[in-house]
């Protein structure tokens, strides 16, 4: 079946995109506001876009009913700084609490029982319970519709939980790192089921696939 996705209403487009491009990693993002203090919220329209410099992107929509900017968007627009935390199995429930639409002056991390410590480079604080955290500075915001901004950020400092990686090889141990992924709506997935595939050299491919 072919779907002319642009002809469909927003909520159906959202449903089709967010239920097929899965699983998505979850960025639990902390930001800071001079008037309202610390803020945290999860975003699964999120991914890495490359290194040198290390770049992350986040898709930020407006609030569904009021169509106003979310606190995260507002804060990064004003001071250009944020911290992205990857969400593992242990952080899942607290991440969910941070998604509640609390008033702007309520700290989601306090409500979720998470601990904040000062970051090294940026002003927004870092969540100590997160397995991985990236302190980031805004490169740009791309507005793609009245209700959608794409935030492009540069990583200026990285933090990894002790014991998760080998400091000699810089390899993260997949047996110890258990990020969760967002499927659609309330559905999430674990990432414990690994398998290996090696891309063969062209010469080896030719040997096994003669003309």
Q: Which residues bind ligand FMN (CB under 6 A)?
A: 26, 39, 41-45, 59-61, 70-72, 96, 99, 101, 182
Q: Tokens in use for 51?
A: 């290194």
Residues pairing with 143 in the sheet: 149
CA distances from 188 to 12, 48, 76, 164, 183 (A): 20, 20, 27, 22, 5
Separation of alpha carbons 174 and 165, rounded Å: 9
Output 67 or 207, the one with its CB closest to ligand FMN.
Answer: 67
Output 87 or 155, the one with its CB closest to ligand FMN.
Answer: 87
Q: Identify each DSSP E strand in the chain by its residue range.
A: 24-25, 27-33, 37-43, 46-50, 55-61, 81-86, 116-117, 126-127, 132-145, 148-160, 181-182, 188-189
Separation of alpha carbons 133 and 156, rounded Å: 11
Q: Tokens in use for 208?
A: 């096994």
Closest distance to ligand FMN from the beta carbon of 180 (Å): 9
Closest distance to ligand FMN from the beta carbon of 78 (Å): 13
What residues contact residue 74 under an 8 Å CB cut-off, 6+ apart? 33
Closest distance to ligand FMN from the beta carbon of 198 (Å): 33
Closest distance to ligand FMN from the beta carbon of 71 (Å): 4
Output 32 or 159, the one with its CB closest to ligand FMN.
Answer: 32
Closest distance to ligand FMN from the beta carbon of 39 (Å): 5
Output 147 or 165, the one with its CB closest to ligand FMN.
Answer: 147
CA atoms lying within 13 Å on the CB side of residue 137: 7
Closest distance to ligand FMN from the beta carbon of 154 (Å): 19
Output 22 or 164, the one with its CB closest to ligand FMN.
Answer: 22
Asked if omega into 35 is within 30° of 0 (cis), the reply is no
Output 21 or 171, the one with its CB closest to ligand FMN.
Answer: 21
Report the relative pairing of strands 132-145 and 148-160 from DSSP bridges.
Answer: antiparallel
């Amino acid at each position: 079946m072919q779907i002319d996705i642009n002809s469909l209403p927003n909520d159906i487009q959202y449903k089709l995109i967010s239920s097929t491009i899965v699983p998505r990693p979850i960025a639990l993002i902390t930001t800071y506001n001079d008037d309202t203090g610390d803020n945290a919220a999860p975003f699964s329209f999120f991914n890495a876009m490359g290194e040198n410099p290390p770049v992350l992107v986040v898709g930020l929509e407006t609030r569904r009913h009021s169509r106003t900017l979310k606190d995260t968007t507002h804060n990064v627009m004003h001071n250009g700084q944020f911290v992205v935390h990857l969400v593992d199995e242990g952080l899942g429930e607290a991440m969910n609490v941070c998604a509640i639409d609390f008033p702007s002056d309520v700290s989601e991390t306090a409500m979720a029982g998470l601990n904040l410590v000062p970051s090294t480079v940026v002003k927004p604080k870092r969540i100590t319970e997160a397995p991985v955290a990236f302190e980031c500075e805004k490169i740009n915001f791309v507005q793609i519709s009245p209700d959608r901004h794409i935030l492009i950020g540069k990583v200026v400092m990285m933090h990894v939980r002790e014991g998760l990686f080998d400091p000699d090889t810089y390899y993260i141990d997949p047996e110890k790192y258990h990020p969760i992924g967002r499927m659609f709506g309330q559905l999430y997935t674990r990432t414990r089921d690994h398998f290996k595939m090696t891309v063969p050299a062209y010469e080896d491919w030719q040997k096994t696939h003669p003309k």
